Amino acid sequence: MSLNPVNLFISAIILTLLAIGILVIWSSSPDLALQQGIFAAVGFVIFILVSRFDYRDLKGFVKPLYFIQLFLLIFVLILGIETRGSTRWISIGSINLQPSELTKPFLILFLAYFWSTHIPNWRNIFKSILWITPPLLLIFKQPDLGTALTILVLSLGLLFASGISFKKISILGIIFFLMLPAVWFTLHDYQKQRITGFLSPANDPLGVGYNVIQSTIAVGSGQIFGRGLGHGTQSRLQFLPEYRTDFIFASIAEELGFVGAGLIILIYIFLISYSLMVAYYAYDFFGSLLVYGVVSLLLFQTVVNIGMTIGLLPVTGITLPLVSYGGSSLVATFISLGLVCSVAKYRRAHSIDIQTYQE
């Protein structure tokens, strides 16, 4: 199963991010690193398969995939596994599947097709909101605020990419800010505490402010070159919570220093920049919207994860793409990047066909 040359750049970025993530996980738990390696191998095969598929043939599957993910979200609320007060996983043998992660690429597909066939007038904006609301509410019910916010942001990203006017954007922005007080009262107490703890973590250093304080200590203690793999005191002595998932960037900064953390950020910048180029030169509007949806997903998750790690944003439980531990998150990201590569591949193939014809 060979890779098309046009996709080698994304493949190299994927493997680099995977290697860094697995290396940092291995330094604390070889068993979990092995599991992550297996997830990565399976995910990479899925990535290759999706990238080799013509994304234009997926138009007929967008509605079935939408209803499949909706069914899975309902199923997880009824028969899902509860962990730490949240019901997010379905047990399939020895594997736990998180359907909310698969909602991300499926919804990108659905909304990209929707906006490629509908103009962004108020009627269609209202229709899109009706389509988005069921999965959004089901994910929020789990509760999973981080994934719900991610779904909301990628939906807005696709709406902006659809060509909506500045006037409509302004009106939607005003409506959103007017709704914020109502949204606040729907949050669980611990979610409200995360926001207030972010604003003043020192007021409760052993409570809601603990995660932010420990994370910033870990990031700062790494200095330029880090303490070395396996020698991070905050993560290895477990002062830093969730140091293989939500706060893995803090572990990287502590063990690999500013150099390692900077490398991670630079790689994401290259990945997002390349994806934007693919979107710009896409064969059709559907392909362009697909890539813009993936860019919205990657950009939001990366910025929020790193932002909450260094104390600039509230803790929301959003993982770092391709780096944080977790099989469902990896697979969802691989599917999304596979779509980007499919758009890149078939845009290039079309260009070659046109050039050959003209010659």
Beta-carbon contacts of residue 73 (< 8 Å; ≥ 6 apart): 99, 100, 103, 135, 138, 139
- Arithmetic mean of pLDDT, 161-189: 85
Question: What's the confidence (pLDDT) of residue 277?
Answer: 92
Q: What is the pLDDT of residues 261-276, one digit of tens each?
A: 999 999 999 999 999 9
**Model confidence at 353, in pLDDT bands (50, 70, 90)?**
very low
- DSSP label at 227? S
231: helix, strand or coil: coil
Identify the residue with better confidence: 315 or 208: 315
What's phi and psi for 322, nearest 5 deg?
70, -5
Domain count, the chain: 1
C-alpha to C-alpha distances, 37 to 26, 43, 336, nearest whole angstrom: 10, 10, 19
* CA triple 315-318-319, angle to 5 deg: 125
With a cut of 80, say whether residue 192 has pLDDT above it: no
Residue 65 is part of which domain span? Answer: 5-358
Of the candidate ranges 124-138, 226-240, 300-314, the one whose mean pLDDT is the lowest: 226-240
Average pLDDT over residues 40-55: 93
Task: Please state the rounded mean pLDDT for residues 149-165.
Answer: 94
Segment among 1-10, 256-265, 347-356 with least mean pLDDT: 347-356
Higher-pLDDT residue of 184 and 204 is 184
In DSSP notation, 248-283 reads HHHHHHHHHHHHHHHHHHHHHHHHHHHHHHHHHT-S
**Distance between CA atoms of residues 292 and 290, nearest Å:** 6
pLDDT at 347 > cutoff 60: yes
Give the SS3 label for residue 152.
helix
DSSP string, 67-120: HHHHHHHHHHHHHPEEETTEEEEEEETTEEE-HHHHHHHHHHHHHHHHHHHS--
Q: pLDDT tens for residues 72-106?
A: 999 999 988 887 778 888 887 777 889 999 999 99
- Give the pLDDT band (50/70/90) at residue 147: very high
CA–CA gap between residue 294 and residue 315 (Å, rounded): 22
What mean pLDDT comes out for the span 283-299? 96
Please report which confidence band the pLDDT of residue 359 belongs to, taking 50, 70 and 90 as the band edges. Answer: very low
Q: Tell me what the pLDDT averaged over the chain comes to.
A: 87
CA distance 32 to 264: 21
Query: Whole-angstrom Cα distance, residue 246 to residue 317?
Result: 6
3-state secondary structure 286-305: HHHHHHHHHHHHHHHHHHHH
- 3-state SS class at 330: helix
| Single-letter residue type at 306 | I
- Cα 7 to Cα 16, 225, 321: the distances in Å are 14, 32, 18
For the segment 327-346, the average pLDDT, to the nearest whole number, is 93
> Which residues neighbour 84 within 8 Å (Cβ) at sequence distance 6 or greater?
none
